[in-house]
């Protein structure tokens, strides 16, 4: 069983979408279940709206899930297991304040050493704990052995016990940390496979938590490289609003650092041949120019009718016009702006308004012409406009003085002339 865990407090970014796609593809390939886990430990007023937005995004990308599970539903179990670990002396209450911890971190930084919790609260007396009114967190005790995991790519990997300090599992507000909640939730839901791009240390901590509780089932991990640095957490919604299509974004995410049989493909095609072992282990920086190139190719693959819908219109002619504009741009947002401009109020700038009105009236009364040259010659003869005729004609038809593309554009808009030259 696979899962994708996502915080309701954040919009889906490229990193999380990539993980969702990887886990979903493998669940489909193995005919296994795929669970969507909503991380909602901190209650938000707009939680319902945020969840609807999240589900809509997954739907747009064709990611289907067996069920939705809210992390909050397991909150009582998080508390119970934390209490069990305390009772069994596998965890302890820590009364160190955040300021005290930060001071120790700074000292370690000055000494150029990694910070490790020093265990100052690990052996506090029962009387001190019972009588203390200070807030506390709950920490796991350091493991007494190395933690081993199975990684689908690397095989058996281990984390040294000294690399795992006494980490926090419940914070001052008695909410579980992400590490603790994930460890418990994966156990309770019977998750068997996890594809993730966090480091091995966090996976080892989660495995250590489950072992400490007595859970003997081993999870199959696949640790992959991150797509981009923390500074490049590009929101998927922003890309969609900029006119990048979900098909192209999916194509980009599955292709980067990967060996694929072809450059342009769909999610369904990828399910047939995708192999996570082909993914590079090197960190890959997000390349928006590459995404633009892929997006342009996916625009060309759409039917004319579908592309017209994507840019807010209908009809094959508009779809063909949209594809024509891929010679200049690579997003549906930019294409829509160009098409909208054709049907918008015309802007003359410094050209003669009087000549333009004559040309427009002549065009409105003109018979239908199949070819642009016949239409142009008719207007030139009947209007009598000579000065700036070519520029005025460009503005009349496309709202642009540049008339170099009119021969190609006219056949695509000739059936919409009433709307164009209104």
DSSP, residue by residue, 38-105: EE-SS--TTHHHHHHHHHHHHHHTT---SEEEEGGGGHHHHHHHHHHHHHTTSEEEE---HHHHHHHH
Checking if the pLDDT of 44 tops 80, the result is no
Report phi then psi at 147, rounded to 5: -105, 125
- Which pLDDT belongs to residue 114? 84
CA atoms within 13 Å, Cβ hemisphere of 318: 25
The distance in angstroms from the start CA to the end CA of the chain is 59
CA 291 to chain centre: 13
Checking if the pLDDT of 403 tops 90, the result is no
Structure tokens at 343: 């049907």
pTM, 2 dp: 0.90
Average pLDDT over residues 312-320: 93
The residue ranking higher by pLDDT, 402 or 284, is 402
DSSP 207-276: HHHHHHHT--PPPEEEE---SS-GGG--BHHHHHHTT--HHHHHHHHHHTTS--SSSS--HHHHHHH--G
Residue 46 pLDDT level (bands cut at 50, 70, 90): confident
Checking if the pLDDT of 389 tops 90, the result is yes
SS3 category, 159: strand
Looking up tokens 């067996």 gives: 66
The residue ranking higher by pLDDT, 192 or 42, is 192
Checking if the pLDDT of 9 tops 90, the result is no
CA 44 to chain centre: 21
Residue 172 contacts by C-beta under 8 Å, 6 or more apart in sequence? 135, 136, 137
Checking if the pLDDT of 227 tops 70, the result is no
- Which pLDDT belongs to residue 115? 87
What would the pLDDT profile of 121-143 be if each residue is shown by its tens digit? 998 898 888 888 899 999 999 99
Average pLDDT over residues 392-408: 94
Highest mean pLDDT of the ranges 8-12, 198-202, 210-214, 224-228: 210-214
Residue 42 pLDDT level (bands cut at 50, 70, 90): low
Residue 233 pLDDT level (bands cut at 50, 70, 90): low
Checking if the pLDDT of 230 tops 70, the result is no
Lowest-pLDDT range of 257-261, 339-343, 406-410: 257-261
Checking if the pLDDT of 231 tops 60, the result is no
What would the pLDDT profile of 291-310 be if each residue is shown by its tens digit? 999 999 999 999 999 999 99
Residue 215 pLDDT level (bands cut at 50, 70, 90): very high
The residue ranking higher by pLDDT, 88 or 50, is 88
Residue 219 contacts by C-beta under 8 Å, 6 or more apart in sequence? 149, 150, 186, 191, 192, 193, 194, 207
- Which pLDDT belongs to residue 354? 94
- Which pLDDT belongs to residue 328? 95
What would the pLDDT profile of 330-340 be if each residue is shown by its tens digit? 999 999 999 99
Residue 273 contacts by C-beta under 8 Å, 6 or more apart in sequence? 260, 261
What would the pLDDT profile of 56-65 be if each residue is shown by its tens digit? 999 999 999 9
Radius of gyration of the chain (CA): 30
Average pLDDT over residues 252-261: 92
* Distance (Å, whole) CA 332 – CA 337: 9
Average pLDDT over residues 237-243: 94
Inter-residue contact 225 to 279 (CB < 8 Å): yes
- Which pLDDT belongs to residue 43? 67
In the chain, how many H helices and how many E strands? 19, 10
What would the pLDDT profile of 142-192 be if each residue is shown by its tens digit? 999 999 999 988 889 999 998 999 999 999 988 999 999 999 999 999 999
Checking if the pLDDT of 22 tops 80, the result is yes
Checking if the pLDDT of 347 tops 80, the result is yes
What is the residue-averaged pLDDT of the chain?
A: 92
């Amino acid at each position: 069983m696979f899962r994708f865990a996502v915080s309701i407090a954040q919009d889906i970014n490229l990193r999380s979408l990539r993980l969702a796609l990887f886990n979903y593809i493998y669940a489909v390939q193995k005919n296994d279940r795929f669970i969507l886990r909503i991380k909602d430990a901190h209650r938000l007023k707009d939680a319902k709206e945020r969840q609807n937005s999240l589900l809509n995004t997954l739907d747009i990308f064709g990611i289907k899930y067996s069920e939705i599970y809210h992390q909050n539903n397991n909150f009582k179990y998080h508390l119970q297991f934390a209490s069990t670990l305390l009772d069994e002396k596998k965890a302890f209450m820590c009364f160190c304040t955040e300021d005290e911890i930060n001071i120790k971190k700074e000292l370690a930084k000055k000494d150029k050493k990694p910070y490790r919790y020093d265990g100052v609260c690990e052996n506090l007396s029962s009387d001190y704990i019972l009588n203390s009114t200070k807030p506390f967190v709950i920490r796991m005790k350091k493991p007494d052995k190395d933690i081993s995991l199975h990684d689908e790519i690397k095989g058996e990997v281990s984390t040294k016990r000294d690399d795992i300090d006494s980490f926090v599992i419940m914070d001052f507000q008695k909410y579980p940390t992400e590490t603790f909640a994930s460890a418990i939730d994966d156990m309770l839901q019977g998750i068997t496979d996890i594809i993730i791009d966090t480091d091995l240390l966090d996976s080892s901590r989660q495995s250590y938590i489950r072992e400490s509780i007595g859970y003997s089932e081993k999870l199959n991990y696949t640790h992959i490289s991150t797509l981009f640095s923390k500074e490049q957490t590009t929101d998927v919604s922003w890309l969609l609003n900029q006119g990048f299509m979900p098909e192209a974004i999916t194509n980009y995410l599955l292709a980067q650092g990967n060996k694929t049989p072809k450059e342009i493909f769909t999610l369904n095609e990828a399910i047939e041949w995708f192999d996570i072992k082909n993914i590079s282990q090197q960190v890959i920086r997000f390349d928006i120019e590459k995404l633009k190139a892929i997006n342009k190719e996916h625009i060309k693959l759409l039917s004319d009718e579908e592309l017209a819908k994507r840019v807010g219109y209908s009809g094959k002619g508009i779809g063909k016009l949209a594809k024509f504009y891929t010679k200049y741009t690579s997003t549906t947002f930019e294409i829509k702006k160009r098409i909208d401009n054709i049907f918008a109020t015309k802007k003359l700038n410094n050209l003669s308004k009087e000549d333009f009105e004559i040309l427009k009236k002549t065009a409105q009364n003109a018979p239908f012409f199949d070819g642009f040259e016949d239409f142009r010659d008719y207007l030139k003869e009947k209007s009598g406009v000579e000065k700036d005729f070519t520029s005025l004609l460009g503005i009349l038809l496309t709202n642009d003085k540049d008339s170099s593309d009119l021969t190609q554009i006219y056949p695509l808009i000739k059936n919409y002339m009433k709307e164009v030259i209104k």
